[in-house]
A and B are shown apart, each in its own frame.
Chain A
Amino acid sequence: MHTASPHSPAPADRLAAGHPAPHILLVDDEEMNRDMLSRRLAKCGYSVTTAASGRESLDALERSHVDLVLLDVQMPGMSGLQVLEAIRGAEATARLPVIMVTAKTQSDDIVVALDRGANDYVTKPVDLSVALARIRTQLARRHAELRLVESEERYALAVQGSNDGLWDWKIATDEAYFSPRCKAIMGLDDEAASMTANAWFDRVHPDDFGRLRHALDGHLAGLTPQFENEHRVRVSDQQYRWVLARGVAVRGPDRAPVRVAGSLTDITEGKVADALTGLPNRVLFLDRLSWLLEREARDPERHFAVLFLDLDRFKDVNDSLGHHAGDQLLIEAARRLDRGLRGTDPASAARPRTATASHDVLARFGGDEFAIALDDVRTATEASRVAKRLVDVMLEPFHIDGQEIFISVSIGVALSTPGCTSEDLLRDADTALYRAKSAGRCRWEIFDGKMRDQVIERVKLEADLRHAVERGQFALLYQPIVSLADRTVKGFETLLRWDHPERGRIAPIDFIKVAEDTGLIVPMGLWVVDEVCRQIREWESTGVIAEQFTVSVNLSTRQLAQADLVDRVAAIVRHHGVQPTRLEFEITESAMMANPEVARRLVGDMKMLGFRISLDDFGTGYSSLSYLQHFAVDRLKIDRSFLTDATTPDWESHGIIAAVIALARHLRADVVAEGIETSSQLARVEALGCDFGQGYYFARPMRPKPVASLLEMALPPADVA
């Protein structure tokens, strides 16, 4: 047996372009026949292996891949018919093309051979052109058959469902087959005949390509039994689809991958929809948004709006009723928003917009956040109309798990402007939403230039405030707290002032909120304690304050949550050597009730160290007596509104003040009336039995120096305990 290589250009009937030459096994016992025919076939571009006997030919078939056998019928030992039988009997060669070579006179043999599965025959002496024609025919038939098998394999590999595309990639030639459905998913031109795998890979989203390559290489290297990867393919200039690609490599005898074939499933729907509500998700929303922005760039007459929505107090519902109820609520809320958006609510007239308003998208961003792109909106009024409907549609109670739940929605609206980006729109809508929430929830706000200015103003204030902390632009003022029994000063409330280098003195009301939001309140608060301690030591050293004299400092909600507050304060006080009883910490009733557990612990710790605690702005919150008993406060400070608010009738504030005093007696706390400005107000609180008073009637907040002179002047010997 020996093998001849082709030396002439490739024949036209090769199995496929780029494939090695078809391999023919020539079986003949006569050496001369073998030599002559194998040389001539090799000249025609075939690769030929010869075998001198039946046995030898079967060995050759086992050892190497053969595309066609030319088999001499009459051979000593194992006859051609017996070899044919063996070939057909083996699974690997059952469909291998076999052409019998026979003498003209042996017509019976030909019939038997064809009966037993020979594909064709040629007669001796072999007419080369006839032989070549028959070889070509048989190879072509076999090729077609193989293609059919391949496509059967493709189907076998593909998952169920006609919606999947099928693909097949021959690695050596980089030839790729994509089924029509596959091309449709990828947005490929169906006409394009032959393709390479790059037609696919070039369309993969740059962010996803790495993972796809990794998964594919892993499978080709034999690390995974199946190739599977989710990625995005670009189907048009700006549009991507999510696909799930699955496949299996077909390996050659040496286990090297020859082809990979598999399926492609469009999973965009699942990727762009929110699983809970079925609404489009953020990905799809941004996709729509960029489409709308592009359209606006082309057609500046057409505008749209972005609405950002957030369910008010959803977290409370979720925490108190559990996730299941929370999910049900979100589903129902999504339904209502959808209804409100469509305007199918019979109570509301359809909004007067063009018929193309179907470009509206309601999406869930996650949690209780929803976003809407409202198409063809030109004015704030139009957007408001929709926003109002969305707020209204949520007003009806929700029935979840047999419970009636009331929940409202707040909405921020941003109108598109030429040249804006999706980032701008979402951010502006979010800013407007924040404004709506701050303004009391269950409402909508439309972002405008003024809001932008306010944000920038706030941001500037924030930056200035940070510098103020670093540069020590704060000062403390002290407002006397006067004993109503003898009109002597018994202590001070410390008030923070900010001396802004350009804007002058700024009152706490204008910066405390920003300080709280940014967390700057924490260093500011510690600075206050430090400064107060220093001042107390100074007053003590000059002997202007009596032993019972207290100085109070305000603590904000944010400071209450500061885990190390007590330790830090204690360290500062120790550092200055100030008696803790000198210091009183004022906590507003609402701050205390915002997190009663934390507040109770903090008050307990503070009291343990010897500090005094007072409840500020008392009477405005809704704390119950049973709660207050746990707090062991030293003082209640009646909110100034009960004295100064003209809208509260006298008899009502009178009653409240009396009740607070009674409560204080019960708690063994004393009472300070704040905001006393007139003698009649003083007379009222005095008559009711208040212990102390504070307000402009006695003194405004003062600088430390005048405070010292005030104390010196009011230092009759009797006042010193």
Chain B
Amino acid sequence: MATLLIVEDNDLNRDMLSRRLARRGHSIVLACDGPEGLTKAYTTAPDLILMDMSLPVMDGWEVTRRLKRDPVTAGIPIIALTAHAMAEDKSTALLAGCDEFETKPIDFERLIDTVTRLLERRASGHHAGGNLA
């Protein structure tokens, strides 16, 4: 069972994401805005982060950039969640250091596949960042 950190400001979205991922046997940690997401990434050492990109206070891009800059958290795979299906968003997300990119409305089957794949990759130690934790 992996610990997933969900950073999402919309109550209803957060509820659905956490409920559905918990049903797949994952342990869920929630954060409602950027700073909380950043803090939780350090305090709960999640195996993977699902990051909404349009967050209040500090947006998902900034949180991602900060996490990817720090060797301690750089190894945690991040899946960017965004409402826009535009190619620019995807490249921005990948440039910010996100490992994967999903657009809303979330395709859960695909999201689960992505989560599983990233967790497996992390478990086998193939992630470029290499988590020091």
Q: Which residues of A contact B (CB under 8 A)?
A: 206-207, 209-210, 282, 286, 365-367, 369, 422-423, 426-428, 430-431, 434, 452, 455-456, 458-460, 462-463, 466, 517-519, 522, 561, 563
Cross-interface CB contact of A462 among B30, B85, B86, cutoff 8 Å: B30
* Contact of A455 with B15 at beta-carbon distance under 8 Å, contacts A207-B87, A518-B30, A519-B27 already known: yes
What's the Cα separation between A286 and B105 when bound, in Å? 9
Q: B11 and A459: CB pair below 8 A?
A: yes
A-contact bits for B108-121, CB 8 A (1 contact / 0 none): 11000000000000
Interface pick from B16-24, B58-66, B72-80: B16-24
Task: List chain B residues, Cβ under 8 A from A427.
Answer: 12-13, 16, 105
Q: B105 and A434: CB pair below 8 A?
A: no
- Tell me the chain B residues, 98-130 only, with Cβ under 8 Å from chain A: 104-105, 107-109
Chain A's closest residue to B26 (CB) is A519
Task: List chain B residues, Cβ under 8 A from A428.
Answer: 12
Max chain A C-beta neighbours (<10 A), residue from B29, B86, B104, B105: B105
Chain A's closest residue to B86 (CB) is A206
Cross-interface CB contact of A366 among B32, B87, B109, cutoff 8 Å: B109
4 other A-B residue contacts (CB within 8 Å) besides A210-B87, A286-B105, A459-B15:
A423-B13, A431-B12, A455-B11, A460-B11
> Can you name 9 A-B pairs with beta carbons within 8 Å?
A209-B87, A423-B104, A423-B105, A427-B105, A431-B12, A452-B12, A458-B15, A459-B11, A517-B18
Task: List chain B residues, Cβ under 8 A from A462.
Answer: 30
Chain B's closest residue to A458 (CB) is B15
Chain A's closest residue to B109 (CB) is A366
Closest Cβ–Cβ distance, residue B93 to chain A (whole Å): 13
Q: B22 and A365: CB pair below 8 A?
A: no
Q: Which residues of B contact A (CB under 8 A)?
A: 1, 11-16, 18-20, 22, 27-30, 32, 83, 85-87, 90, 104-105, 107-109
Chain A's closest residue to B87 (CB) is A206
Q: A207 and B27: CB pair below 8 A?
A: no
Task: List chain B residues, Cβ under 8 A from A423.
Answer: 13, 83, 104-105
Task: List chain A residues, Cβ under 8 A from B12.
Answer: 427-428, 431, 452, 455-456, 459
Q: A518 and B28: CB pair below 8 A?
A: yes
Closest 10 CB pairs of A and B: A366-B109, A206-B87, A423-B105, A459-B11, A519-B27, A423-B104, A426-B105, A456-B11, A427-B16, A455-B15
Q: B90 and A207: CB pair below 8 A?
A: yes
Q: B14 and A430: CB pair below 8 A?
A: no
Closest Cβ–Cβ distance, residue B25 to chain A (whole Å): 9
Max chain A C-beta neighbours (<10 A), residue from B12, B19, B27, B30: B12
Cross-interface CB contact of A207 among B14, B20, B85, B104, cutoff 8 Å: B85
Closest Cβ–Cβ distance, residue B46 to chain A (whole Å): 12
What's the Cα separation between A427 and B19 when bound, in Å? 12
Q: A431 and B105: CB pair below 8 A?
A: no
What's the Cα separation between A431 and B27 when bound, in Å? 20
What's the Cα separation between A431 and B105 when bound, in Å? 14
Chain A's closest residue to B32 (CB) is A463
Closest Cβ–Cβ distance, residue A437 to chain B (whole Å): 10
What's the Cα separation between A452 and B15 when bound, in Å? 11
Task: List chain A residues, Cβ under 8 A from B15.
Answer: 431, 455, 458-459
What's the Cα separation between A557 and B105 when bound, in Å? 32
Chain B's closest residue to A208 (CB) is B87
What's the Cα separation between A431 and B39 when bound, in Å? 29
Task: List chain B residues, Cβ under 8 A from A522.
Answer: 27
Q: A434 and B19: CB pair below 8 A?
A: yes
Closest Cβ–Cβ distance, residue A448 to chain B (whole Å): 13
Task: List chain A residues, Cβ under 8 A from B83.
Answer: 423
Chain B's closest residue to A451 (CB) is B12
Chain A's closest residue to B17 (CB) is A427
What's the Cα separation between A367 and B111 when bound, in Å? 13
Q: A365 and B85: CB pair below 8 A?
A: no
What's the Cα separation between A360 and B24 when bound, in Å? 31
* Contact of A366 with B28 at beta-carbon distance under 8 Å, contacts A206-B87, A434-B19, A456-B11 already known: no
What's the Cα separation between A215 and B89 when bound, in Å? 23
What's the Cα separation between A207 and B29 when bound, in Å? 31
Chain B's closest residue to A456 (CB) is B11
Chain B's closest residue to A282 (CB) is B107
Q: A422 and B105: CB pair below 8 A?
A: yes
What's the Cα separation between A431 and B16 when bound, in Å? 7
* Contact of A519 with B28 at beta-carbon distance under 8 Å, contacts A427-B12, A452-B12, A458-B15 already known: yes
What's the Cα separation between A604 and B16 when bound, in Å? 37
* Contact of A466 with B30 at beta-carbon distance under 8 Å, contacts A426-B105, A427-B105, A455-B12 already known: yes
What's the Cα separation between A460 and B90 when bound, in Å? 32
Closest Cβ–Cβ distance, residue A382 to chain B (whole Å): 24
Task: List chain A residues, Cβ under 8 A from B29.
Answer: 519
Task: List chain B residues, Cβ under 8 A from A367.
Answer: 109
Closest Cβ–Cβ distance, residue B9 to chain A (whole Å): 11
Q: A459 and B87: CB pair below 8 A?
A: no
What's the Cα separation between A452 and B30 when bound, in Å? 19
Task: List chain A residues, Cβ under 8 A from B90.
Answer: 207
What's the Cα separation between A518 and B29 when bound, in Å? 7
Chain A's closest residue to B25 (CB) is A561
What's the Cα separation between A289 and B32 when bound, in Å? 29
Closest Cβ–Cβ distance, residue A721 to chain B (whole Å): 43
